[in-house]
Amino acid sequence: MNPRHIALGVALTAAAALVLFGDNRPATGVVEAVERAPAPAPAAVKAAAPAAARTVTPASTEPAILRLQPRERLIGSEDEAMGAPGDLFGRRDWNPPPPAPDARALAAAAAAAPPPPAPMAPPLPFTFLGKAVADGNWEVFLARGDKTYIVRDKMVIEGTYRVDAITPPNLTLTYLPLNQVQQLNIGVLD
């Protein structure tokens, strides 16, 4: 044991002795209620509120407790604070509201809006598995989900894709519903 362990053991023993043999008697003193002067009239509170909040009158050594003020009087109504009624954590915007757009500006903005983009073919759903040459023609092995396809030139796959050309390193497919050409990388010649 090193000196540190001995010091910690002595401290633990002293703490245990205080818990067991220390003074555990409850305090017997009783606290009496304090009597206060009656509250002043509401008009007197409003007039004396700023002065009474900062100072204590010399005749009394107790501070004055003021009546609660309504929220609307202190910070204004919720409509003035630009928040929705009952919205405690609503957005607060202190900037003036933007000017209302006129009908001509709205019509010009609608006319100047660009046309929607042309439809695009979805990304190719096939995964390249491999390729082979059979009788001088390329065959490419593709997977889509749990199906495997062996495709050749000018072949149609599930009525949506047509194989246009197999020229390594690319396989050229046409998405038939939109007649858009896509390419799949199949690697260089082996």
**Does residue 108 fall inside a structural domain?**
no
Query: Between residues 157 and 188, which one has the greater pLDDT?
Result: 157
Whole-number Å distance between alpha carbons of 40 and 49:
11
Domain that holds residue 165: 127-185
What is the count of structural domains for the chain? 1
**Does residue 133 fall inside a structural domain?**
yes
- Res 43: pLDDT: 57
**Does residue 144 fall inside a structural domain?**
yes
CATH number of the domain that residue 132 is part of: 2.30.30
User: For the segment 89-123, what is each residue's pLDDT rounded down to a tens digit?
Assistant: 667 778 888 888 788 877 887 777 788 888 999 99
- Res 111: pLDDT: 78
**Does residue 158 fall inside a structural domain?**
yes
Other Cβ atoms less than 10 A from the Cβ of 165: the count is 13
Whole-number Å distance between alpha carbons of 186 and 170:
5
Q: Are 137 and 153 in contact (CB under 8 A)?
A: yes
Q: pLDDT at residue 165 above 70?
A: yes
Whole-number Å distance between alpha carbons of 2 and 28:
45
Whole-number Å distance between alpha carbons of 123 and 78:
52
User: For the segment 22-78, what is each residue's pLDDT rounded down to a tens digit?
Assistant: 887 777 777 777 787 776 666 555 555 554 455 544 555 677 888 888 877 777 665
Other Cβ atoms less than 10 A from the Cβ of 161: the count is 24
| Nearby residues of 82 by Cβ (< 8 Å), 6 or more positions away | 92, 93, 94
User: For the segment 64-96, what is each residue's pLDDT rounded down to a tens digit?
Assistant: 888 888 877 777 665 555 555 556 666 777 888
* Strand positions, DSSP E, 62-154: 127-134, 137-144, 147-151
Q: pLDDT at residue 155 above 60?
A: yes
**Does residue 142 fall inside a structural domain?**
yes
Whole-number Å distance between alpha carbons of 37 and 109:
70
Q: How far is CA 69 from the centre of its chain?
A: 37
